[in-house]
Amino acid sequence: MHQMTLAEIARGLADKKFSSEELTKVLLARITQLDPQLNSFISLTEELALEQAKAADARRANGESGALLGAPIAHKDLFCTQGIRTSCGSKMLDNFKAPYDATVVAKLAAAGAVTLGKTNMDEFAMGSANESSWYGAVKNPWNLEHVPGGSSGGSAAAVAARLLPAATATDTGGSIRQPAAFTNLTGLKPTYGRVSRWGMIAYASSLDQGGPLARTAEDCAILLQGMAGFDQNDSTSIDEPVPDYSASLNTSLQGLRIGVPKEYFSAGLDPRIAELIQNSIKELQKLGAVIKEVSLPNMQHAIPAYYVIAPAEASSNLSRFDGVRFGHRCENPENLIDLYKRSRGEGFGPEVQRRIMVGAYALSAGYYDAYYLKAQKIRRLVKNDFMAAFNEVDIILGPTTPNPAWKLGAKNSDPVAAYLEDVYTITANLAGLPGLSMPAGFVDGLPVGVQLLAPYFQEGRLLNVAHQYQLNTDWHTRTPTGF
Ligand code: GLN
């Protein structure tokens, strides 16, 4: 039962092969049995799940239908869930029970999805390995000595290990696509503004975007359908109609123009990944796509620009965690300054503290123009590169990551080494574009992802290309041994 995709679950529930309650019990038992190896959950919500499953079964018995009605999912632990701990992977919020549901959580609950729990993540979504969580590192089900990617590593490891079919995640610089690549999943970062950020604890507000992590493009379409849409509570949410993502999955790829940026195949890319990317290109050519070389000349500046802008926004967003308004409060403060210093010093881990310091520095008088303003200018150049490329091609294809999942601890002493691994993903966040990662093969038994990028609001196109690819390949069906 745990092998089913969301689409298969929807069919099974509609045909009354099993109930949502039965499925929920099977998956909860599986999580209890197997998650100790992975650490992919911070909180399990068994009671809520069984309640929601029974309610979904009752709605189906009353004639209601819907792809998410009775479908078990989990939320990355930065989506606020009413009355349930929302920790953001931090000691700072270890005892925080949100007073309301995030829009994404409320929308999915209304569609009948069943919440099994809250998944582990890098602290405040800062990281690429899920090692900065206060609740401990998450392990990659493909090899328990390797990282699952981050910051949505808990959602990715849980879905990859078949503990549940799909989960929500967020992507500020790659945190949906990179863990998808590292665990053999399909993950989609939507256009900035497509999915409401209301109730999503902010890391870098101009880059953060929620999206689905699942095994197939078909399932990502189902989950995105439930997440996307205008929300007047989020001032950057965009009031555009949401297309039917499942309806366009079967569009032919005949004549599709795929751009491959020449900058992608530089020295930093593992040659074995380069070969798998070439194979995926050949596969898409067989389906009728036409390949064209394009150029993204400012790509080399994207990492430095991102690692100024994201910490700058984080330093501002995280100022609210001061032990007074929000967050952990130290014992017996001597005065207000002592309260701030110790509450923040105890509540935040080292990576979060590092980024707050970098961000505050970049925003300070005298450095603002040299760092923050400069980074914003680079951001515009990165966007312009994409706009020029999309005049010539329909989508852009390349690797999701330069290397497969590294060993736990391998990059802990060198944060910059980890930052450099974001080279292929962060440009889409800087430009606000949608991006998808899908399974493309294996290197040393570890999964490799191919990334597709599209113009604004073309999520349907990305899902369509990925679905057609998945109809003709079987990488995405491979299951990690032991799960
Ligand atoms: N690895 C990137 C960072 O640490 C991206 C994280 C994310 O997308 N949340 O900032």
Tens of pLDDT along 230-240?
999 999 999 99
Give the separation between CA 75 and CA 116, rounded to whole angstroms.
8
Q: In terms of residues, how long is the chain?
A: 483
Continuous H helices in 231-328: 271-286, 302-317
Among 155, 306, 403, 426, say which to mutate for ligand 1: greatest number of ligand atoms within 8 Å of CB. 426
Pocket of ligand 1 contains residue 175 by CB under 6 Å:
yes
Q: How many degrees, rounded to 5, is the angle at CA 275 between CA 152 and CA 258?
A: 75
Pocket of ligand 1 contains residue 204 by CB under 6 Å:
no
With beta carbons less than 8 A apart as the criterion, state whether 218 and 212 touch: no
Angle formed by the axes of helices 302-317 and 374-389, to 10°? 120
Match 């080279």 to its residue by tokens.
423
pLDDT band, residue 266 (cuts 50/70/90)? confident
Q: Is 76 a catalytic residue?
A: yes
Give the separation between CA 382 and CA 263, rounded to whole angstroms.
13
- Whether residue 267 is predicted with pLDDT greater than 80 in this model: the reply is no
Continuous H helices in 331-424: 336-347, 350-363, 374-389, 415-420
Longest dimension (CA), the chain: 70
Q: Is 377 a catalytic residue?
A: no
What integer best gives the mean pLDDT of the chain? 97
With beta carbons less than 8 A apart as the criterion, state whether 465 and 395 touch: yes
Q: Is the peptide bond before 151 cis (omega within 30 degrees of 0)?
A: yes
Give the separation between CA 79 and CA 104, rounded to whole angstroms.
8
Domain ranges, ordered by start, for the chain: 1-483
CATH 3.40.640.10 fits domain 1-483: no
Pocket of ligand 1 contains residue 171 by CB under 6 Å:
yes
Give the separation between CA 158 and CA 40, rounded to whole angstroms.
6
Summarised one tens digit per residue, pLDDT across range 381-429 is 999 999 999 999 999 999 999 999 999 999 988 999 999 999 999 999 9
Beta bridge partners of 210: 170
Question: Measuring from atom 10 of ligand 1, which residue has the nearest CA?
Answer: 126
Among 90, 124, 128, 203, say which to mutate for ligand 1: greatest number of ligand atoms within 8 Å of CB. 128
Pocket of ligand 1 contains residue 151 by CB under 6 Å:
yes
Amino acid at 18: F
For residue 190, which of 227, 153, 232, 148 has the smallest C-alpha distance? 227
The catalytically annotated residue of 19, 40, 43, 76 is: 76
Q: Is 175 a catalytic residue?
A: yes
Percentage above 70 pLDDT, the chain: 100
